[in-house]
Amino acid sequence: MLRLISSSSKSKPYSSLSYSISIHSPSNNNNSDNNPKFFSSGFSINSAITAPLSQNRNGFPKFPAKIADFDQYGSRFRRVQDLVGGTRNFSSESSLCRESINYDVVIVGAGPAGLSAAIKLKQTCKENDVDLSVCVVEKGAEVGAHVLSGNVFEPRALDELIPKWKEEEAPIHVPVSSDKFWLLSKTRAFSLPSPFNNKGNYVISLSQLVRWLGHKAEELGVEIYPGFAASEILYDTSDKVIGIATNDMGVAKDGSKKDNFQPGVELKGKVTLFAEGCRGSLSEKIISKFNLREKGQGQHQTYALGIKEVWEVSEDKHEAGSVLHTIGWPLNHKTYGGSFLYHMKDRQVAIGFVVALNYHNPFLNPYEEFQKFKHHPAIKPLLEGGTALEYGARTLNEGGYQSIPYPVFPGGAIIGCSAGFLNVPKIKGSHTAMKSGMLAAESVFRTLHEGSPLEAFWENLRNSWIWKELYNARNYRPAFEYGLYPGLALSGLEHYIMRGKSPWTLKHGKPDHEATDEAQMCKPIDYPKPDGIVSFDMPTSLYRSNTNHDHDQPAHLRLTDPKIPELVNLPIYAGPESRYCPARVYEYTSDESGQLKLQINAQNCLHCKACDIKDPKQNIKWTVPEGGGGPGYTVM
């Protein structure tokens, strides 16, 4: 049986989570040319070890990062041990039966929305002297491990949830000190009026804030289980959702049970909230099954891929609280996207690049566009002499108001980025995700305590400041369907003159996967070779993400039709999956006969979900791997 072993060490709080994992690591030399097969299934340093998660493979502290008091979080590991290897035992010695554990509320995903819902629910219980059991299940090895965001944080929702967050030492320390917006050409930067209005906001690490929220939730009695991936929705005979099941652990790639096999656990709730983040695998099933998109605002969701690095720069170049956004180069005028550059504390700088996934040219490579961007003469000097600390990627919702699904279904609701509350012109979604979780919690409490219908959540959402924000911002993203300069003109009209009150609502273009043109219609893009100073090859970057999966497990990236990559994607679209993936999961390699075949390096996966969104024929299905796998973000 797999056990998560709780350590009593106070000096190494996060070394308490230990389990057998498989390490896929390059040599100490960052030049990946020395490791040509590092990210292919042909390379293997598959030594299974019991690996403490107290530091990552670069030697940096893995959990937490630069938060001194995180030894108080050790309680979370004791609860996980109770679940899988301690006081709770599976009902069948043969491991053929899954244990079922009942709660009042089950929440899938320990991100801003899920934890805010849990906290608000417990606060409301305390105010009304009611006891409801709340469980949060999280697929990352630790709360915050899979959380990636810019992030310039608007504290509006946090002010409502935990008014004394400053006194309670939330990891929010750097107020925005300057706010710039540039239009880039290849060699110049042109200053534009900043539409972001970041006065009163803070530059933060969202992964660190989420860890703090996790602690606050546990103080209130919420049970949090990291390292467990929700893989199945449980229904009763009337198709009402009654909870989730985590996936089996210790299953080999061929489907056989390994020595450490452990069946999944059924977590049943009177109400289940899905807070999986953008393109949540279970949330999408719920949306499809109950036709929630059609019952809501009606339009399809549209997405972007965000790629981010955290750097440590020299003291003389660091300006704590400085915020910069850019648009334009290196993307062409038909592709929507841009960059962000935020100065955090401790000489750290968050730099990232966002590319809308409705781009047309299948030769476009978002990762390479990001590396190219860092060589702009207005950007490169900041990074020279610095050190890249961490790398990651995640998709984000850009559909906004037009794409919000009806969030309520029999037995639960969808909250946060699983529903899609990102405010595109603000480039912010954490505050709206948190507020959606809080509103859902209020409705859940009334449902369980007073018998009120959960559908009240929809009306509460429509009457909240979330709705007003997204309505006023609704025409910004679709304006760029017409190109960069028309988009700037139309969005400027919306923002500065109409102020969101225009009598029209623009529609989104084609779904992202349908927007990809055939390769014969497009010009290949030649990207420069990385210099190893400010730009890096994929293996070097991926090494900094701390991502890890047990190689010997069933593939979590599944092809509906295994023939489509070779018969459609490669000949018609030039194999776009080998470029849009920011982790080199998908590679076309020659077989013994010289034919190119798709190779899936699932162990590289960053859980960004780009493949599930952008594949031209929607042939790739992203599902959860074993819990605890994936990236290990600390300051993202």
Place of tokens 């599976």: 90
CA distance 609 to 420: 14
User: Do residues 635 and 389 touch, judged by C-beta distance below 8 A?
Assistant: yes
Whole-number average pLDDT of the chain: 87
Mean pLDDT of 201-213: 98
User: Do residues 304 and 398 touch, judged by C-beta distance below 8 A?
Assistant: yes
Q: Does residue 562 surpass a pLDDT of 60?
A: yes
Backbone angles phi, psi at 413, to 5 degrees: -155, 160
Mean pLDDT of 242-258: 95
pLDDT band with cut points at 50, 70 and 90 for residue 96 = low
Place of tokens 């690490």: 205
Q: Output 75 or 363, whichever has higher pLDDT.
A: 363
Mean pLDDT of 542-555: 95
Q: Look at the domain 539-622 and name its fold.
A: Alpha-Beta Plaits (3.30.70)
Q: Does residue 223 surpass a pLDDT of 90?
A: yes
Q: Which residues contact 562 (CB under 8 A, 6 or more apart)?
A: none
CA distance 527 to 222: 49
DSSP run (H or E) holding 215: helix 206-219
Place of tokens 């530059």: 203
Sort 501 into a burial class: Cβ within 10 Å, 0-12 / 13-18 / 19+.
exposed
Give 288-323 pLDDT, tens digit per residue: 999 999 999 999 999 999 999 999 999 999 999 999
Give 472-515 pLDDT, tens digit per residue: 999 999 999 999 999 999 988 988 898 888 999 999 999 999 99
Q: How many CB atoms lie within 10 A of CB 503?
A: 5
- pTM, rounded to two decimals: 0.87
pLDDT of residue 194: 86
DSSP run (H or E) holding 257: strand 257-262
pLDDT of residue 306: 99
Q: Cα separations (Å) of 454 from 173, 442, 451, 472?
A: 37, 10, 9, 27
Mean pLDDT of 65-82: 36
pLDDT of residue 5: 30
- Assign 3-class secondary structure to 303-339: EEEEEEEEEECCHHHCCCCEEEEEEECCCCCCCCEEE
Domain residue spans in the chain?
A: 539-622
Q: Which residues contact 415 (CB under 8 A, 6 or more apart)?
A: 113, 114, 117, 273, 274, 275, 407, 433, 436, 437, 440
The b-or-e profile of 455-484 (16+ CB within 10 A means b, else e) is ebbbebbeeeebbebbbbbbbbbbbbbeeb
Give 3-57 pLDDT, tens digit per residue: 333 233 323 222 223 222 222 333 333 444 433 333 343 322 222 222 333 344 3
CA distance 474 to 615: 26
User: Do residues 589 and 595 touch, judged by C-beta distance below 8 A?
Assistant: no
- Return the C-alpha torsion angle 420, 423, 429, 432, nearest 10: -80
Residue 569 identity: N
Cis check: omega of the bond before 263, within 30 degrees of 0: no
Q: Output 584 or 42, whichever has higher pLDDT.
A: 584
The b-or-e profile of 368-389 (16+ CB within 10 A means b, else e) is bbbbbbbbbeebeebbeebebb
> In terms of Cα–Cα distance, which of 539, 372, 563 is closest to 30?
539
Q: Does residue 454 surpass a pLDDT of 70?
A: yes
User: Do residues 624 and 54 touch, judged by C-beta distance below 8 A?
Assistant: no
- Sign of the alpha-carbon dihedral angle for 544, 549, 555, 556: negative
